[in-house]
A and B are shown apart, each in its own frame.
Chain A
């Protein structure tokens, strides 16, 4: 089976201009294949989060080229990028960003409703299925702010999955959790990769976790120093 590339970065350069001109990403070139579980490691401040925001299409202020699913997405209008983010990229943050005004179920449903490919009932059914994967279906009708940190993180992973994205990106998804919860979340990630062949890109500080991924990208001072 030929492995296809899900996301590819070509010579990405990024600068910050305040206080002075600082280059935070230097000629970053790499790609993630379909079904791969890739981790990104490096010292604090080396540019991991910055790279992830560029890859997520939320940050468009960079040089170089970005390809998603073999299509060039650099310099696409923001409307198109929003659409791509909605359909093809799932994002899990370190801090569980849920919409507090909505129930757990509704939080998971929102990207699905936004995509507008399935009826409301179908989206609801799908959302319930995703919650079931993480044992969160019992909490479906709670308000988002009634959950513990680990539970919130599981809900946000379910939300990232709702549109069956090409890739899930996460920035230290376990960084804010204790050992037990972080093991649960990582376990879910592994399961997603093994059972559902979900492509994953995860920034982490935990070398123990990184060791269990298919490949680790090491960064240092804005540059990639090794792919292992």
Chain B
């Protein structure tokens, strides 16, 4: 009831200066709109760029690195223990990139419920034989269905049906860049030679485009079985085991854990892609900084208008105090004005910001490099709206704080005498 009166007086004062009040509110609206649009757009881009890498990167990758054995035979030689054994120019022996006993490993991993999916892979270095020229390439032998489930493989197959890779024997999905270079159309046959010297004719069933030009120039896909056939290995031959987790933050710990259990190399996504995280963080930080700067500027607008209002309404403040309003009451009146401006401006800002995001989402954005993207990406995370709303209230409260306190300290006697 008493608070109702304070609101009523605040309303009357605002209506008396409706234009300035509206200008102040528009300032808040504008800054919140920009804040939402900026964060939505920036984070949309972040997600896109992160997705480009992170969605297609396994959270943990197990593989055998070609490197010299740590335990050279001399160390096992009992008569020489306790001596310094120095060996120069150690070379790796018979490169065994196959993951030994990979079926057992996969079975073990499948029992771990932190893991959401496992996809084995074979990488084969080949040459595409185009007339007299040999163009180097890298073939990934994949389990088509699992690869698609875990790494959205089909999103990046820009021509042809990705399932043909599994359904057509000895088929290949060429990287877009590679396809352009060897001028292969869908339905054509390309001849490849593996590093071991095996030759094979592969039928082109599609194009693959990741958006990363360098990758598309050399990377192509065949099925796991085709890859095994090419290098003349049995069905148990696998060079990589890719693992996706439910919670990818566990990756570093789990990589270490399984690396020791299985005694193979394990890379986690955080280590491999540290720079992407940093990039996203910096972009977010910049958009927050810009958004908050807008808000602070609009805060100064509110500060000015309240100061002006208080200056003009000295008489009213003096009367209110003479008829029994305390300093706190007066302060509350002006604080409510500030908060109302912030609230109305903020709510409108959130709505306009949402519409701005919808608008940005409609702007066509087509680029060779990003086949799945047709318009600008926007992130509609409610978090930004919450932050925007809270910030609009907080800044207006602080903008109103000092003028309100000034108003509360006005001495009515001085004003009444001054007439």
Contacts and interface: CB of A to CB of B under 8 A. Distances in A.
A58 B2 contact: no
Interface stretch (B324-332, B344-352, B357-365): B324-332
B322 interface: yes
A53 interface: yes
B66 interface: no
A111 B416 contact: no
A114 B12 contact: no
A154 to B, nearest CB: 16
Interface in B85-141: none
Interface in A83-142: 83-87, 91, 93-95, 97-102, 110-111, 113-116
A53 B413 contact: yes
B326 A78 contact: yes
Contacts, number: 75
A97 B324 contact: no
Contact of A59 (B319, B413, B419): B413
Interface string A69-87: 0000000001100111111
Interface in A154-179: 159
A116 B3 CA distance: 10
Interface string B384-419: 000000000000000000000000000111001101
B12 A58 contact: no
A56 interface: yes
A110 B5 contact: yes
A58 B322 CA distance: 7
A95 to B, nearest CB: 5
B15 to A, nearest CB: 7
A113 B15 CA distance: 20
Contacts of B13: 101
B5 A113 contact: yes
A116 B329 CA distance: 14
Interface of A: 49, 53, 56, 58-59, 78-79, 82-87, 91, 93-95, 97-102, 110-111, 113-116, 159
Which are the 7 A-B pairs with shortest beta-carbon distances? Answer: A86-B324, A82-B326, A101-B12, A85-B324, A111-B323, A97-B319, A101-B16
24 contacts: A58-B413, A78-B326, A79-B328, A82-B321, A82-B324, A82-B326, A82-B327, A83-B324, A85-B323, A85-B324, A95-B419, A97-B315, A97-B322, A97-B416, A99-B320, A101-B13, A101-B15, A101-B316, A102-B12, A110-B9, A113-B5, A114-B323, A116-B1, A116-B2
